[in-house]
Amino acid sequence: MQENKKIIFDRLNEPQVLLSLLYITAISIGMIFNYAKFKVFGINIFDYADLTDFILFPFSDLKVLVLTLVVAIICLLLFYLDLKLRDIFPNIFNQKIISKKQHKIGSILLSIVLFIAFIFIISEKYSKNFYANILLSDNITIYTKTQEFTGKYVGKTNDVIFIYQDKKLKIFPITSNIIYYKIN
C-alpha cells in the first residue's frame, strides 16, 4: 500500500501528468467562466453545452488561457515556498504539532479552497465586466429561411447561438432553419 502511494507521487513529477493536470485545470476554469458569463443573463450554460464545448473553451478565450498559466505559476511558487518553509523549520514535524501527512492534506485542501475562491472571484468580475460592456461586443446577424436577426454576439455552443437583442438574451438553435450567420 505504501509503495502504491509512492508511485502515485512519483508520477506527479512527470511532464505528461503535469500537462494533463494543467489542461484539466484549464477546462475547469473555462467551465466556471462560462457559467458566470451566462449566469448574468439568467442562463444555466450546462443546459446548453456539452463536454466538447468546455474542452475547447480554454483555447477560445485568451483570458482563460492566461489565467490558467498564472494559476499554474502561483501553484508552483506556493509549492516551492512550502518546500523552503520545511527547510527553514525542519523541527516542526519532530515536535508532533503536525505530522507530515496532516501537513500534506492541509496544504492540498487549502490550495484547492484558495484556487476555487480565486477563480470564482475573478469569473464574477469577468462576467459583470462582460455584461456591462455587452453593447461594445461584436454584432451578429443570423439569416434563417424566413427572417434575419441582428444583435450582440454573446457566445455559442455546438447546438445554440446566444445573442443579446432588445435587452434580452435570445437563444437560437443551430438547425437547418439557419442558412448562415456572420459576426460583424
Distance CA 154, CA 134 (A): 8
Say whether both 121 and 57 belong to one domain. Answer: yes
Asked if pLDDT for residue 109 goes beyond 70, the answer is yes
Say whether both 102 and 26 belong to one domain. Answer: yes
DSSP 80-114: HHHHHHHHH-GGGTTTTSS-HHHHHHHHHHHHHHH
CATH of the domain at 175: 2.30.30
**Which domain does 175 fall in, by range?**
135-183
Say whether both 84 and 147 belong to one domain. Answer: no
Say whether both 20 and 53 belong to one domain. Answer: yes
Domain endpoint, select from 105, 132, 159: 132
Asked if pLDDT for residue 5 goes beyond 60, the answer is no
Say whether both 108 and 144 belong to one domain. Answer: no
Asked if pLDDT for residue 166 goes beyond 70, the answer is yes
* Nearest partner of 177 among 161, 165, 166, 164, judged by Cα: 161
Considering its fold, how many domains does the chain have in total?
2
Say whether both 71 and 142 belong to one domain. Answer: no
Of 32-36, 131-135, 177-181, the range with the lowest mean pLDDT is: 177-181
Which amino acid would we find at residue 184? N
Say whether both 92 and 6 belong to one domain. Answer: yes
Report the percentage of the chain scoring pLDDT > 70: 81
Say whether both 115 and 51 belong to one domain. Answer: yes
Say whether both 11 and 41 belong to one domain. Answer: yes
The grid coordinates of residue 33 equal: 467562466
User: What is the b/e burial string over 124-160, where b = at least 16 CB atoms within 10 angstroms of the residue's CB?
Assistant: eebbeebeeebeebeebebeeeeeebebbbbbbbeeb
pTM across the whole model: 0.71
Say whether both 86 and 55 belong to one domain. Answer: yes
